[in-house]
């Protein structure tokens, strides 16, 4: 194995993830216990329920990860853990777990910013995958998740300049809210993507918030527009406004899902390409749960190719929260000498970088 072997723990939101990585790129094992089914029942995440589910699953996930990796405790050089941003109760479960392991095994404890993990997922390679070209600096990174949406410039490893961020909702949050409005369930992102794929007419236009020349984003107006468009469509069809048992006809839901997705994808892709061109970026990196979206991936890959810019997007399972992405960032932080003490606390609002 090349480079340090790091055990990584992710529990910032609703996935319990533990991974073993060898060096900054190679996944040895990556196990994720998802709480999607639990939160689907409430249509969203209830923080205390999420924290308790981490508590329930974190030991079995560790067992599975080390078994899959085939490593012994003595093979591990350090432990990395997400300490923010995220839900406080969820973060605390992973942090305390990692501290206990660090203390028992006398491993260095490496604190990892969850957002940095989403960026570093772009460097990861699966256990049996051959070597792939890595992102080249300077690069532009778009991170789009359920809690965050931002564009950053990276001039080198671990070096970020924030170009723009959402001024209200995150892109994933907008997908989740509009998914609920369309009666598509939780999480809305994958459900909207699936519905949109079936759209026959692709001419519904949802508004775009361009935010002037800035690299900032805003999705709350789009959400309001979606609510109005759904209400108008239901009215025109003679369907009661808020009756969950009377959904719109499937074909209409598909068209509205397509229109909403097209608006989000258009704004995200346009700003990312504009930033990459303006800054002379040599590659583009995409990360976060919404980066799993096929329409966004397709649109960005077409535009990046036209500019001869390499676009690096992790496979969908590495875009959504997982331990391997935390491991990839932890190895870099470990090499840079970053260590946390055993009084490490959760930082629910930890930023990646400031402007």
Site residues (CB under 6 A) for ligand KG4?
13, 145-147, 172, 175-176, 187-190, 193, 288-290, 292-293, 320-321
Query: 314 contacts which partner out of ligand KG4, Zn ion, none, CB within 5 to 8 A by kind?
Result: none
C-beta of residue 247 within 8 angstroms of C-beta of residue 265: no
Q: E-strand spans in 184-305? A: 283-287
- The Cα 115–Cα 350 span in angstroms is 9
Sheet with 109-113, strands from edge to edge, namely 26-34, 15-22, 5-10, 78-84, 109-113
**175: partner contacted, choices Zn ion, ligand KG4, none (Cβ within 5-8 A by kind):** ligand KG4
Q: Which does 291 bind (CB under 5 to 8 A by kind): Zn ion, ligand KG4, none?
A: none
Rg value, the chain, Cα: 20
Closest CA to 121 of 284, 329, 291, 295: 329
Residue 259 binding partner per list Zn ion, ligand KG4, none, with a CB distance cut-off of 5 to 8 Å that depends on partner kind: none
Least distance from C-beta 76 to ligand KG4, angstroms? 25
Least spacing, CB of residue 337 vs ligand KG4, in Å: 27
Residue 190's binding partner, choosing from ligand KG4, Zn ion, none, with beta-carbon cut-off 5 to 8 A by kind?
A: ligand KG4
Q: Which is nearer to ligand KG4, 29 or 178 (CB)?
A: 178
Per CB under 5 A, residues contacting Zn ion are: 145, 321
CB of 113 to ligand KG4, least distance (A): 12
Number of residues assigned to the chain: 355
Nearer to Zn ion, 119 or 181 (CB): 119
Q: What single string gives the DSSP state of each residue in 51-115? A: HHHHHHHHHHHHHHHHHHHT--GGG--EEEEEEESS-HHHHHHHHHHHHHHHHHHT--EEEEEHH
Q: By C-alpha distance, which of 352, 330, 302 is closest to 124? A: 330
Pair of tokens at residue 34: 């998802």
- Least CB distance to ligand KG4 at residue 199 (A): 15
From the list Zn ion, ligand KG4, none, which binds 275 (C-beta under 5 to 8 Å, kind-based)?
A: none
* Residue 145 vs 253, nearer CB to ligand KG4: 145
**Residue closer to Zn ion, measured from CB, 4 or 117:** 117
> Structure tokens of 248?
């719109």
Give the span between the Cα atoms of 109 and 41, in whole angstroms: 36
Nearer to ligand KG4, 48 or 237 (CB): 48
Quick one: 24 or 147, whose CB is closer to ligand KG4? 147
């Amino acid at each position: 194995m090349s480079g340090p072997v790091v055990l990584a723990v992710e529990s910032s939101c609703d996935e319990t993830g533990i991974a073993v990585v060898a060096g900054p790129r190679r996944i040895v094992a990556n196990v994720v216990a998802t709480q999607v089914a639990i939160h689907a029942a409430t249509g969203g995440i209830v923080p205390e329920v999420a924290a308790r589910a981490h508590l329930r699953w974190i030991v079995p996930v560790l067992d599975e990860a080390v078994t899959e990796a085939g490593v012994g405790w003595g093979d591990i050089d350090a432990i990395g853990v997400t300490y923010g941003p995220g839900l406080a109760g969820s973060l605390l479960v992973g942090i305390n777990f990692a501290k206990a392991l660090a203390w028992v095994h006398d491993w260095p404890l490496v604190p990892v910013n969850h957002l940095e993990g989403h960026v570093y997922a772009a460097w990861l390679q699966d256990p049996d995958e051959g070597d792939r070209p890595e992102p080249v600096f300077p690069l532009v990174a778009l991170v789009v998740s359920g809690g965050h949406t931002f564009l950053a410039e990276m001039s080198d490893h671990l070096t970020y300049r924030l170009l723009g961020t959402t001024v209200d909702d995150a892109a994933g949050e907008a997908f989740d809210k509009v998914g609920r409005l369309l009666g598509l369930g939780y999480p809305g992102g994958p459900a909207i993507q699936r519905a949109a794929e079936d759209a026959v007419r692709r001419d519904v236009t949802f508004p775009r918030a361009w935010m002037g020349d800035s690299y900032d984003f805003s999705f709350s107006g789009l959400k309001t527009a979606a609510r109005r468009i759904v209400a108008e469509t239901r009215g025109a069809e003679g369907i009661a406004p808020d009756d969950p048992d009377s959904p719109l006809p499937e074909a209409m839901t598909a068209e509205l899902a397509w229109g909403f997705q097209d608006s989000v994808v258009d704004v995200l892709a346009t700003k990312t390409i504009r930033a990459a061109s303006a800054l002379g970026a040599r590659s583009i990196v995409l990360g976060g749960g919404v980066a799993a979206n096929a329409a966004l991936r397709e649109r960005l890959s077409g535009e990046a190719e036209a500019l001869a810019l390499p676009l690096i997007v992790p496979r969908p399972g590495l875009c959504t929260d997982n331990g391997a992405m935390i491991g990839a960032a932890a190895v870099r932080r470990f090499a840079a000498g970053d260590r946390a003490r055993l009084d490490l606390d959760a930082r629910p609002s930890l930023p990646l970088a400031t402007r």
